[in-house]
Structure 1
Amino acid sequence: MASPTAPTMKAPRGSRRRSVIAPGDTAPPNRRQDILTSAEELFAERGYHAVSVRDIAARAGVPLALVGYYFGKKEELLGTIFEHRRGYIDERLQRIAAVDCSPANPNAVEDLVQAWVEPAVLLRATEGGAAFSRLVARLSDQGPETDRVIEPHYDPLARTFIAAMQQALPGCDRNLLVWGYVYALGALLKHISDLRVERLSDGHEVTADPARMPDLIRFLTAGFRALAGGTR
């Protein structure tokens, strides 16, 4: 017999995918948001494959059936987390598009790096941003299920950034810039998620410190310039 608290109604045929949460949907009790937050935290703490739907329901304090009702399968729930955070990706795309990559702008490389880095670093400092940042860092090597979520959200961003950097560094081979993007991504993910800096600095530095963002931007800018052999 079904639990009296578990919903039994089905979404109308042809309705939008159930895992989508409308912006500003916070009507109490906000069980959907509780599930989403719990999943984000657990995926960040343990990794996607080490977390079960039952774990998520227990953390959120909701019936197990409710997770499937609102979000479908675990992979759909992971996808919803990234849909919910989509705004910071769109901001990065818009900022990259706004950079003048012509020879008239001698700071084009640094401007592109800043447009790509800054929203990610600042997101880390927002409510829930730390868990999401750790989640992004964890997902890079966790298999096809996570690749299916990462690819539609982050590959367009990567391609946009690389194309803009080609304009800023016209003498640099595109494949070299692809490697540059991979190197830069590793540095950014470590900046926003790794706790080791606190230990190595004997507690003098803080993970994802926004005050260190200019240093990160300078470091990555120098790296792209070095790959281009000293061109702009």
Structure 2
Amino acid sequence: MTKLKARQADHGGEENPELKPSVRKRLMDASEQLFAEHGWNAVSIRTIVTAAGVNLAALHYHFGSKEQLLSEIFAARAKPIAEERMRLLAEINLDNAPSLERILEAFLRPALTIGSDRRFGGRAFIKLRARLATEPEAISRKILATAFDESSGAFLSALRRALPDIPRADLEWRFHFMLGAMFYTMADAGRIQSLTDGRCDPGRVEDALQHIIPFVAAGFRSAPGSVRAIAKSRKQPK
């Protein structure tokens, strides 16, 4: 690409871009909204550049591909969540009977607060994250792993310290179910507001944390093998 074409791509083909957000930001903002609403696979490159008001060369110049664009959006949004989780975890004494509730709050609070902050994508990022968490695409798994595997691994280690009597496999399953509760709370689909005339509102973050932490803690503390015992009892002859 020549220097002239590079500058044109950098400006989306426009001659006077000074009063507009950068082309890179416009591409990221537009694609984040589109990916959140329709899913990564359903959005074409042409749809993205049209929504961003730039030319096709601009996307290839800044990101190279749609996959890289998604990766960079997610990395930028997820980084402050992972960093805040690790900061809060570092404040907990893991060497002396660490508090399960404090560990859970350190994990859940950043996702429900920073994740809903407009500075970090707000509702669009929450919807995008929920989509990636439920899509089986290899790219989705790769992006989530890059963003959160390191911090999530640290929390699994902390949970093993807090609950030494819970078998590792049971603990991992319970972590999986906690993620499900967290994602559905973040998604805030409106179903529970309808059922409760608004009394239960996941959009009120402090209320949500007040209720989800003891709920999840009870699940983590449940007796090991209790589910297997129930399954075994069902097989007993009547």
TM (normalized to structure 1)? 0.81
Count of matched residue positions in the alignment of Structure 1 and Structure 2 = 210
**Residues 1:117 and 2:108 are matched in the alignment:** yes
Cα 1:41–1:174 shift into 2, 3 Å:
same
Cα 1:132–1:115 shift into 2, 3 Å:
same
Match of 1:55 in 2: 47
Match of 2:132 in 1: 139
How many angstroms apart in 1 are the aligned matches of 2:19 and 2:84?
Answer: 27
Is this contact kept in 1: 2:116–2:122, CA < 8 A? yes
Larger Rg: 2
**Residues 1:215 and 2:211 are matched in the alignment:** yes
| CA positional deviation for 1:146 | 1.4
Is this contact kept in 2: 1:124–1:133, CA < 8 A? yes
| CA positional deviation for 1:169 | 0.6
Match of 1:161 in 2: 155
How many angstroms apart in 1 are the aligned matches of 2:223 and 2:66?
Answer: 40
How many angstroms apart in 2 are the aligned matches of 1:228 and 1:95?
Answer: 28
Contiguous gaps of at least 5 residues in structure 2: 8-17, 227-238
**Residues 1:200 and 2:195 are matched in the alignment:** yes
Of the three residues 158, 180, 189, the one matched with 2:174 is: 180
Match of 2:24 in 1: 32
Tell me which amino acid in the other structure corresponds to 2:116: A
Q: Which has the higher helix share?
A: 2
| CA positional deviation for 1:118 | 0.4
How many angstroms apart in 2 are the aligned matches of 1:167 and 1:63?
Answer: 53
Cα 1:156–1:43 shift into 2, 3 Å:
same
* Comparing 44-53 and 151-160, the one that deviates more: 151-160
Secondary structure at 2:41's aligned position in 1? helix
- Greater relative CO, 1 or 2 (CA 8 Å, sep 6+): 1
Cα deviation code 1:6-55 (max 9, x no counterpart): 96239xxxxxxxxxxxxxxx995422111111111111111111111111
How many angstroms apart in 2 are the aligned matches of 1:227 and 1:65?
Answer: 58
How many angstroms apart in 2 are the aligned matches of 1:30 and 1:210?
Answer: 32
**Fraction of identical pairs, as percent:** 33
| CA positional deviation for 1:208 | 3.0
Of the three residues 61, 73, 78, the one matched with 2:65 is: 73
How many angstroms apart in 2 are the aligned matches of 1:39 and 1:31?
Answer: 12
Is this contact kept in 1: 2:126–2:186, CA < 8 A? yes
TM (normalized to structure 2)? 0.79
CA RMSD, Structure 1 to Structure 2 (Å): 2.7
